[in-house]
Amino acid sequence: MIITPFLVISMIIVFALLFLFLNTVDKRKWLTAIISLILTPFVYFYMFYPFINIVSNYHHQKYFNSEAWIEKPALRYEMIDETIASDTLIGLSKNTVSKLMGNYEWLTWDDDLKAHDKNKWNYALGIEPGAFNDQKECVEITFEKDKVIALNHYQEEITFEKKAEENEKQ
């Protein structure tokens, strides 16, 4: 385990809260301090730390890996930020992108053509972990003259079948 300033500060906060709480139960300061010292790691790692992980929106960043992209589509969001920042796909042909990422999942609708645009491929990236997350991650790859010119990372609202059926009835 790596000891960071956040870890130390949060452990001190948990200790202080436990000490204050236990002080209401028993007025013996030495006993309260000992029990607080013993309970602090357990309360921190089994209550405070999991709560912070649920509420926060942190996730690991990974380098683009074609095999992982195809095999674990729900974890693609971990690779997309680095892929866009490093221009990994810029300049590649449609054929190469198809080999690296698999076939596109859907095409962007073009209102001018009243049809799908075969030069804008979309892939689902999965759902970032978090308690209040109601968005799914997606990426749109734009081609010009059979070469990738841009990647657009965007979010869509998560819709479920029941909700989608209600919207269709209206």
Q: What is the pLDDT of residues 42-92, one digit of tens each?
A: 888 888 888 877 777 666 788 899 999 999 998 898 999 899 999 989 999
| 8 A C-beta contact, residue 122 and residue 140 | yes
In this structure, what token pair is assigned to residue 123? 């892939």
In this structure, what token pair is assigned to residue 61? 């960043």
- Alpha-carbon distance 151 to 165, whole Å? 31
Task: Identify the H or E element spanning 123.
Answer: strand 115-126
User: Given this model, what pLDDT does residue 139 score?
Assistant: 95
User: Given this model, what pLDDT does residue 95 score?
Assistant: 95
User: Given this model, what pLDDT does residue 165 score?
Assistant: 59
Kindly give the parts of the chain with pLDDT less than 70: 1, 57-59, 162-170
User: Given this model, what pLDDT does residue 31 score?
Assistant: 85
* Helix and strand totals (H; E) in the chain: 7, 4
- Alpha-carbon distance 143 to 126, whole Å? 23
Full-model pTM: 0.66
List phi, psi (to 5°) of 46: -105, -10
